[in-house]
Structure 1
Amino acid sequence: MSVVVVSAVCLVATGCSDGGSGKDDGAKPKSTHTVLPQRLDKPAPMPEGELKPSPAADAAFSENLAYELRRKTQSMANATGKITAECPKDLGSKSGTQATCTTTFEDVKVEWNVSIGGKSSFSNNLVEYTATPRQGILTRDGVARLLYGNYRDSIDHALCNDIPKAVAAPLGVQSKYRCEVVMKGKEPSGYAQPVRATDSGPRYY
């Protein structure tokens, strides 16, 4: 019986070595992750200056608020594109007023919960307010701008899983989009991290 057991062990060992010398050939294991298909190159910098068009000097409070929400929407997208905003035309600046305003970035809609506060301590002409988006926006250019800004001179390019020009995304949580940063002189590894939408722009972690 002991001979049979020893023979069985020898067969397994022989099968594992495949008749070779048993020495390690030094080959590194390959990543089982898929290299992502969408290449992101360095985008142009964001334009400087105020977002256009800006409200007229005698614009209603709702128009001024809509303009501020357009600016916030551009910051969230971290990209340039067609931006619209609309608040109730009869929205006043009385403290405690609440309303829903709507912005779009390249036709991706975001609704904002707006609450009007008191007068600013700096000027009676300034009104404090809070505006909370109900969802976020991710943009292809915005993610590229984030990655090239974070990795600066080290990044060669980024690979992602087909982020659209603009798409709605939940705020502050992992989205379905992922990217890999490929450094200069390196090859893609296939290991990617998720992209997240926040109210101040995309994040990568």
Structure 2
Amino acid sequence: MRSKIMPLLIAGSLALLATGCGSDSGGSEGSATPKPDGPVLPQRLEKPPAMPDEDKAQPSPAADASFSENLAYELRRKTLDMAKAPGKITANCPADVSSKSGTVVTCKTTYEGLEVEWSVRIGDKAAFSNNYVDFTATPKQGILTRDGVARLLYGNYRDSIDYALCNNIPKAVLVPLDVKSKYACEVVMKGKQPTGYSEPVRATDAGPRSF
């Protein structure tokens, strides 16, 4: 899957930047508690705190930063967007990477020590300004985080959700991109009991998904 990253303005001649739900089984009539459809998942996820301000989490490069440094900054932002959870992020691109359209390069980012390779293709400069450069960046793996999944589920169901149950999602883990993972969750609504019915979650370059 390829994603288009809209460019960001940078001072200087190099300007980069290039930039499911659970169901209630109901149980038998008259039952006080519905019988679960399957085993109740062991990991309870509470609502996570709000994400920190992105500019503070990933400070912009200096005005005289190189094209490589600006590109690395954009990939740190993309990595944070994929994880949807605060964490230590690093990024590295070849120092001699060119801003010429058609340039293809491999960069690496880490999130809490988990390394992801990105295939980056530099696009054209914007017609209205040479200070804008388009590029596409495709990660070879996905990052799935416990807080990111919780943020997704509580964001999807808002005031209706009581809590979420999952099958022991690590704090952060590498998984195939855009493929249903081995991790699954059930959303328990307010006033309801767990049903044992869960949906798998997957990693995308824009954060976790549960469909």
Q: TM-score, normalised by structure 2?
A: 0.82
1:76-118 per-position Cα deviation (integer Å, ceiling 9, x unaligned): 0011000110000111101111100001111111110001111
Cα deviation digits, residues 116-161 of structure 1 (max 9, x gap): 1111123101111111111111000000000000000000000000
The equivalent position to 1:162 in structure 2, one of 168, 190, 198, is 168
Quote how far apart the aligned CAs of 1:49 are.
4.2
1:42 counterpart (27, 42, 47): 47
> Structure 1 unaligned runs (5+)?
1-23
Partner of 2:82: 76
CA contact (8 A) 2:182 2:200 kept: yes
- The code of the aligned residue for 1:75 comes to D
Alignment partner, residue 195 of structure 1: 201
> Considering only CA atoms, is the larger Rg found in Structure 1 or Structure 2?
1
CA shift at 1:53, angstroms? 2.9
The amino acid that maps onto 1:150 is: N
Change in 2 beyond 3 A, CA 1:48/1:122: farther
- Counterpart in 1 of 2:112? 106
Q: What's the RMSD between the two structures over aligned residues?
A: 1.7
The answer to whether the 8 A contact 2:142-2:176 is kept is: yes
> 1:5 matched to which residue of 2?
none
What does 1:1-205 align with in structure 2 at a 5 Å threshold? 30-50=35-55, 51-205=57-211
CA distance in structure 2 between the aligned counterparts of 1:26 and 1:204, rounded to whole angstroms: 33
Distance 1:164 1:62, change over 3 A: same
* Identity over aligned pairs, percent: 70
Q: Which moved more, 1:78-87 or 1:44-53?
A: 44-53
Question: Secondary structure of the residue that 1:195 maps to in structure 2?
Answer: strand
Report SS of the residue matched to 2:129: coil
Distance 2:30 2:101 in 1: 71
Report the TM-score, using the length of structure 1 for normalisation: 0.84
Report the CA distance between 1:25 and its aligned residue.
8.8
The SS at the match of 1:125 is strand
Which 4+ stretches in 1 moved above 6 angstroms?
none
Q: Does the Cα contact within 8 Å between 2:76 and 2:91 map onto a contact in 1?
A: yes
Of Structure 1 and Structure 2, which has the larger fraction of its residues in helix?
Answer: 1
Report the Cα distance in structure 1 between the residues aligned to 2:30 and 2:190, rounded to whole angstroms.
25
